[in-house]
Structures are given as C-alpha cells and as structure tokens.
C-alpha cells in the first residue's frame, strides 16, 4: 500500500514542488499546521477580483503534504473563487471515498487515492485545502 502511495507522480511533486517559494505582493498570506506531524504550511495568495491569479507555498512537511500542496497550486492557479470552492468539494469527496466524484478528472491528485485508506495521513493531504479555505474566507471578508 505504502509503495503505491509513494508513486512516481507523488514523488515528482515532492522532489520538484510546483509554485514553491514566496510571492512578492500576496493579497492574503495564510498559515496552516498539522500538530500531529508538525507539518507547517504557508500559502501566499494573489487575487485579482474573483480570480486567484497567483499562488505559492512554503513550509516544511512530509512527502504527502508537500506533494498535495504542489498539486493544489498547479490545479487552482488562475481559477475563480467559485471554481476553487467546487474543487474543494471534489477533493473532500475524493479523500473521503478514495475516488473522484463521477465525471471529475482529478489529474495528478488522483495519485493520492491511497491516502484515503490511511486515516492518520488524510490530514497531511487535506492540510493545503483547509488552509486555502481559511484564506478564501479572509479574502471574502476584505
């Protein structure tokens, strides 16, 4: 199970994370932690109106949380808030049930399917999504 978990796609995102680093002028910076693992994540979000025009992440974490965050940034950069909320719902279904909602292509995120069977690690994969949600709430409040 674990070997499948640490498959090529996940390892690729872990070793060469997309959108890694800090943004110069983020609209919102939001931090998330996973006390169980000690994962620490900082998301820089740059909004233009309804669009998430840029996103980057930094911090420390396990392979699953780093890869999951990298995949999130790749998927959501350029999306509207409405689309992001839709994807958040899709991800929640996916990580709960281990498969994507009907008709939805999760792309690289599909490689996290094995995590759904490991309750202890679900939080690692979910961390970037819950952190982003907090960022959206803050942006909408501004």
Check binding of 117 to other proteins (CB under 8 A). no
- Residue keyed to tokens 């994540």: 41
Which one, 33 or 88, has the nearer CB to other proteins?
Answer: 33
Residue 64 CB, shortest distance to other proteins, in Å, is: 7
State residue 26 phi and psi, 5-degree precision: -70, 145
142 binds other proteins (CB under 8 A): no
- 80 DSSP assignment: B
- Residues 90, 94, 97, 102, Cα dihedral to 10°: 60
By CB under 8 A, tell whether 16 contacts other proteins.
Answer: no
Least Å distance, CB 11 to other proteins, is 7
Binding residue count for other proteins, defined by CB under 8 A: 21
Q: Contact region for other proteins (CB under 8 A) — 23-31, 54-62, 99-107, 131-139?
A: 54-62
Helix H, strand E, coil C: the string for 26-53 is: CCEEEEEEECCCCEEEEEEEEEECCEEE
Q: Does 96 bind other proteins (CB under 8 A)?
A: no
Coil, strand or helix at 55: strand
Interface contacts to other proteins, rule CB under 8 A: 1-3, 5-6, 11, 14-15, 36-40, 60-64, 118, 121, 124
């Amino acid at each position: 199970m674990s070997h499948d978990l640490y498959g090529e796609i996940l390892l690729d995102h872990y070793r060469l994370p997309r959108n890694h680093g800090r943004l110069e002028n983020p609209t919102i910076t939001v931090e998330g932690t996973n006390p169980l693992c000690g994962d620490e994540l900082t998301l820089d979000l740059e909004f233009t109106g309804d669009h998430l025009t840029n996103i980057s992440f930094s911090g420390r974490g396990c392979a699953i949380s780093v890869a999951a965050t990298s995949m999130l940034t790749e998927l959501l950069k350029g999306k509207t808030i409405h689309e992001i909320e839709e994807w958040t719902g899709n991800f929640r279904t996916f990580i709960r049930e281990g498969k994507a909602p009907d008709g939805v292509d999760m792309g690289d995120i599909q490689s996290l399917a094995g995590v759904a069977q490991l309750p202890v690690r679900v939080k690692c994969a979910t961390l970037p999504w819950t952190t982003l949600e907090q960022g959206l709430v803050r942006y909408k409040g501004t």
